[in-house]
Amino acid sequence: MQKGINMKLRLVKQGDFLGTKCDFYVNEIGDIFMSRTQIGYALKYKQPQNAVLIVHKRHKERLDKFSVEVSGCQFVTPIYKNENTDKVFMYKERGIYEICRYSNQPIADDFNDWVYDTILSIKKNGYYIAAEKDEKWLGTRQETKEVRKAETDQIKLFVEYARAQGSQHADRYYVSLTKLINRRLGMESGGRDKADQRTLMHLKSLETVVELHLATLMAEGLPYKEI
């Protein structure tokens, strides 16, 4: 068991596995963790924390590498104020899978698969606090990614269009158009994963307008400087 003395853990997902609340945390370098106690509850042990501890002791050499001991005050929203009391035992993603592999609980395989899908979703959608009620946010965020790709594809065509007409600095349009939209929404660079759903909806609308505007005026053959 490693000591996560300086580690900070931030909640990034609150899921529900067959009625059991499951919190997923991430540290500063992107490792994803879940607590020993919640793993035990999800696996339907009668004594959740003690049962997982027994599994850990049986495979100590293996599981020590994928677990860490932290204090409650090391969470971004502290769960305990005193760093000297109430230690929390957390398992990295690999450790969660190993606990499931060594467990004899009938539900272990199902929980393992659910954890895998949940963590895959976290990595795909970014380390954003995502409770089950935030599925609409995740859907909107995915839509903005698709719109952004369509927009950048169109900007690429516009860059080539401008170069063909003699532009010496056509590549700047990628940055300038992105900055223009961010400024319009009051959003910092890299702030898309932190934006609320209303801002994401506005973002999607603006980037769709940019894409259609470029496509329409290019089709009309206007000089790039007038677009």
Pair 147, 116 in one domain:
no
Pair 58, 166 in one domain:
no
pLDDT 10s digits, 23-77: 999 988 889 999 999 999 999 999 999 999 999 999 999 999 999 998 766 666 5
- Looking at the DSSP bridge assignments, the partners of residue 21 are 16
Q: What pLDDT is recorded for position 156?
A: 93
Q: What pLDDT is recorded for position 139?
A: 82
Pair 33, 143 in one domain:
no
pLDDT 10s digits, 162-207: 999 999 988 898 889 999 998 999 888 778 877 888 888 999 999 9
* pTM above threshold 0.85: no
pLDDT 10s digits, 92-137: 999 999 999 999 999 999 999 999 999 998 888 766 555 554 667 7
User: Can you give the residue range of the structural domain that contains 108?
Assistant: 2-127
Pair 100, 209 in one domain:
no
Q: Distances from the Cα of 97 to the Cαs of 85, 106, 119, 153, 169, in angstroms?
A: 28, 15, 11, 39, 51
Considering only CA atoms, which of 198, 187, 204 is closest in space to residue 148? 204
pLDDT band, residue 227 (cuts 50/70/90): confident
Picking from 72, 103, 127, the residue at the C-terminal end of a domain is 127
